[in-house]
Amino acid sequence: MQAAHHSLLQRITIDSDVRFGKPCIRGHRITVQEILEWLSNGTSQQQILADYPQLEPDDFLAVYGYAADLAAGCEASGG
């Protein structure tokens, strides 16, 4: 299970030249924070996928894993 978690976290990228170094999804300009805000405001995964076709269902699992690591006080690191 740990290998799967690590594999998912590689979908999260951090680049100081993209969105001020915020964690993003696979090098796109969509941040982990944006995805979590959309979801917490009631937007469904299906609606987000329809609005942002560059996203994939596993990107949501990566966001959840990243957030879980942060909530647990772990050093979350992307790919």
Q: Which residue has the tokens 């992307």?
A: 78
- Position 79 scores a pLDDT of 59
| Cα gap 37→59, rounded to integer Å | 15
Sequence ranges of the domains in the chain: 2-71
Q: Could you tell me the pTM of the whole model? A: 0.86
Q: Could you tell me the fold of the domain covering 2-71? A: Arc Repressor Mutant, subunit A (1.10.10)
Beta partners for residue 24, in sequence order: 13, 31
Q: Distance (Å, rounded) from C-alpha 25 to C-alpha 21? A: 12
Q: pLDDT 10s per residue in the chain (79 long)?
A: 588 888 999 999 999 999 999 999 998 999 999 999 999 999 999 999 999 999 999 999 999 999 999 999 876 665 5
Residue 74: predicted pLDDT: 72
Nearest-angstrom CA–CA distance, 61 and 65: 6
Cβ(49)–Cβ(60) under 8 Å?
no
